[in-house]
Amino acid sequence: TWWAQATGRYAQSGLPAPGSVLVMRGYNDDKRGHVAVVTEHVSSRVIRVDHANWLGQGEISLGVPVMDVSPDNSWSQVRVWHIPGAYWGGRAYQIQGFIHPFAGKTLG
């Protein structure tokens, strides 16, 4: 519910920036999802994030690569680096957007 709760309170956009929160839709359930903090903007298609419990073991993962795989480079679909296997994950996840760490309205 992060995306809805941030609306009108924090700036939101479709573009990543260091310090912003990536909000991912749930894969099997739209009522659940995942969030991660963007730590680095590597290129137009790759960022690094810090997040917890991605693998379901309560772990904290730092500097994990995330790749934009949307056809129009809109950051609407991403793949996440699979740490144990050292490869890009097989699923493309839908992104709601990025919540930025300052008050404001939705950005372009």
Q: Cα angle vertex 91, ends 33, 65, to 5°?
A: 80
Phi, psi of 101 (to 5 degrees): -80, 40
Give the pLDDT confidence of 39-95 residue by residue, as tens digits.
999 999 999 999 999 888 889 999 999 999 999 999 999 999 998 899 999 899 999
pTM above 0.75, yes or no: yes
How does DSSP assign 59-76, residue by residue? -EEEEEEEEE--TTS-SS
Give the pLDDT confidence of 20-35 residue by residue, as tens digits.
999 998 766 666 789 9
pLDDT at 108 over 70: no
